[in-house]
Amino acid sequence: MAKSSHFPPLLLLVLSAWCINFHAAQNPIKNVVVLVMENRSFDHILGWMKPNLGLPFDGLTGEECNHRNVYDPASPTICVSPTAQYVDPDPDHSFEAIRFQVFASDNASSPPTMSGFVQDALTLSEETAAAVMQGFPPAKLPVYATLASEFAVFDRWFSSLPGPTQPNRLFVYSATSHGDTSHNKKHLIEGYPQRTIFDSIRDEGRDFAVYATSLPTTLFYRNLRKLKYVFKFHRFSTFAKHAARGDLKTLSVLEPRYFDLFGKEANDDHPSHDVANGQWVVKEDHVPTPNVGIPSPDGIVGPEPFFFNFDRLGVRVPTIMVSPWIKKGTVVSRPNGPTPTSEYEHSSIPATIKKIFNLSSDFLTQRDAWAGTFDNVYSELTSPRTDCPELLPVVPPLRVTELNENRRISEFQSELVQLAAALNGDHHMIDSGVIEGMSVKEADAYVNHAVARFFKASKEAIRKGADGNEIVDLATNGQ
């Protein structure tokens, strides 16, 4: 793939391989690269590529509408349109909001109607209500359009739960959110305790790497904070060098820039960031969320008042898989097992990594044991393609307002600053209100300082002979 300053959508899976002496019975995939972006639904990003590019997936027709009042069938409707531009502010994607968006009622046991997006958005503004029904035409997202046309698009890849960013991100590498349906500050400070696919990879004698621009959100996992993993983290800029010299690990994780600054614009796709810089807002998606036959990962029930059993998935997210071993224009819908109700969702990533690399460790949870795997997507070719695009289009900016690095940080950004504060031993900041009052510029500076200090102290502890299973505690060490 050619160099580009623009990132593809929420989930970009890149599979690379050795191309010499390959036989059909062998697995050609040697490296998996995962890029997770922020807050854009399938219909918002890819929905209009069906009529415009002729891709045969479950996209938009223009007839998908929501009533302004779900309780009044005579109320006016707002329908989907290919008119999306720069999005600000961010529509509500809390667990409670998504519950209404999907079911259009307080009865989550009823069939999902996907008809409550407009009414929920009206609680913010008329502009937001219109924005949640808008999607991008391919011309606005040329990198996405190119990758979708040239490689594989999943049109039934769902978020792991109908909830916000961090719980869903946790599923990507651990197949559980440890019972959380929202941001949990206690778990944030302590670090989430569950086993991850990174542990499984290391136990097998394989390796992984995390490349981050702002800070690695993988540090939400407690195990990843251990000293034995400190040298797995790299600056984002080193990824291209490692890839060019063939030095990628079994799993490489790419983390984009989360803070929007002059000369260093955010490229994580999170509103209010320009999608042109990043190419999941829980916006309208017309495909009902699966709610039958979905196993709880670990039997942990969510907190009150909903006591969620983790027995249904969230909305679809745009997922593209790239590899020279994938046939051009591939559309991937339902998986072939491992159970009749299996779907593609974030837990499909650890499930597939376990399968293609024949990892001997158990599944992480019941969820990745159930999730569909995508190893079949690259199994149709007997040799790699030679017609893959070498250049990706340049994307013009979509932002129509001036970047404001002095604006107050978003909820998502405050969660990242809280993570940095936990790593830096500044636990008092997390509930003080100081973080929520930060500007984007102040938050970025604090995060960079805190993360650098954490990694410096961890490496120093290693040099002094500390046990690899220890975690540096800057609150007590005062380093």
Please, which pLDDT band fits residue 391 given cuts at 50, 70 and 90? Answer: confident
Query: Which of 119-123, 147-151, 268-272 is predicted least confidently?
Result: 268-272
Please tell me whether residues 288 and 351 are part of one structural domain. Answer: yes
- CA distances in angstroms from 457 to 187, 215, 463, listed in the order given: 22, 16, 10
What does the pLDDT read at residue 271? Answer: 46
- Mean pLDDT to the nearest integer, 45-65: 88
Query: Which of 189-203, 242-256, 386-400, 439-453 is predicted least confidently?
Result: 386-400
What does the pLDDT read at residue 274? Answer: 43
With a cut of 70, say whether residue 268 has pLDDT above it.
no
Please, which pLDDT band fits residue 459 given cuts at 50, 70 and 90? Answer: very high
C-alpha 90 chain-centroid distance: 16
In a domain, 111, yes or no: no
Name which of 353, 302, 400, 324 is nearest 85 in CA terms: 400
- Mean pLDDT, the chain, integer: 87
Please, which pLDDT band fits residue 165 given cuts at 50, 70 and 90? Answer: confident
In a domain, 73, yes or no: no
In a domain, 79, yes or no: no
Name which of 306, 377, 350 is nearest 94 in CA terms: 306
Q: Which domain holds residue 238?
A: 11-60+137-378
Please tell me whether residues 420 and 297 are part of one structural domain. Answer: no
DSSP assignment string, 267-303: -S--TTS-GGGT--B-----SPPP-SSPPPSSSPPPP
Tokens for 311? Answer: 């027995």
What does the pLDDT read at residue 41? Answer: 82
In a domain, 127, yes or no: no
Whether residue 261 contacts residue 441, with contact meaning beta carbons closer than 8 Å, is answered with yes
What does the pLDDT read at residue 136? Answer: 87
Query: Which of 50-64, 254-268, 276-290 is predicted least confidently?
Result: 276-290
Please tell me whether residues 170 and 285 are part of one structural domain. Answer: yes
Which residue type, as a one-letter code, is found at position 272?
S
What does the pLDDT read at residue 188? Answer: 84
Please tell me whether residues 374 and 444 are part of one structural domain. Answer: no
With a cut of 50, say whether residue 68 has pLDDT above it.
yes
- Mean pLDDT to the nearest integer, 121-146: 89
- Mean pLDDT to the nearest integer, 359-368: 98
Q: Which of 378, 403, 432 is the last residue of a domain?
A: 378
Please, which pLDDT band fits residue 471 given cuts at 50, 70 and 90? Answer: very high
With a cut of 80, say whether residue 407 has pLDDT above it.
yes
Please tell me whether residues 419 and 282 are part of one structural domain. Answer: no
Name which of 334, 385, 391, 279 is nearest 16 in CA terms: 385
With a cut of 70, say whether residue 281 has pLDDT above it.
no
Please, which pLDDT band fits residue 399 given cuts at 50, 70 and 90? Answer: low
- % the chain with pLDDT above 90: 64
- Mean pLDDT to the nearest integer, 414-441: 93
Please tell me whether residues 231 and 360 are part of one structural domain. Answer: yes
What does the pLDDT read at residue 372? Answer: 98
What does the pLDDT read at residue 59? Answer: 92
Work out the angle between the directed axes of helices 165-174 and 348-356 (0-180°, nearest 10). Answer: 10
Rounded Cα gap, residues 311 and 309, in angstroms = 5
Query: Which of 77-91, 205-219, 330-344, 446-460 is predicted least confidently?
Result: 77-91
What does the pLDDT read at residue 148? Answer: 92
- Mean pLDDT to the nearest integer, 124-140: 88
Name which of 26, 415, 40, 353 is nearest 215 in CA terms: 415
Please tell me whether residues 277 and 160 are part of one structural domain. Answer: yes
With a cut of 50, say whether residue 106 has pLDDT above it.
yes
In a domain, 124, yes or no: no
Domain containing residue 210: CATH number:
3.40.720
What does the pLDDT read at residue 431? Answer: 87
pLDDT digits (tens, 9 = 90+) for 8-45: 334 677 776 543 334 444 688 999 999 887 667 899 88
The structural domain count of the chain equals: 2
With a cut of 70, say whether residue 360 has pLDDT above it.
yes
DSSP assignment string, 371-407: S---GGGG-S-SS--S---S----------S---TTS
Please tell me whether residues 464 and 330 are part of one structural domain. Answer: no
In a domain, 394, yes or no: no
In a domain, 239, yes or no: yes
Please tell me whether residues 174 and 310 are part of one structural domain. Answer: yes
pLDDT digits (tens, 9 = 90+) for 301-335: 999 999 999 999 999 989 999 999 999 999 999 99
Please tell me whether residues 322 and 258 are part of one structural domain. Answer: yes
Please tell me whether residues 428 and 356 are part of one structural domain. Answer: no
- Mean pLDDT to the nearest integer, 376-392: 91
What does the pLDDT read at residue 20? Answer: 36
With a cut of 50, say whether residue 207 has pLDDT above it.
yes
Residue appearing with tokens 């590498």 = 173
In a domain, 316, yes or no: yes
Name which of 142, 202, 159 is nearest 42 in CA terms: 159
Please, which pLDDT band fits residue 398 given cuts at 50, 70 and 90? Answer: confident
Please tell me whether residues 449 and 345 are part of one structural domain. Answer: no
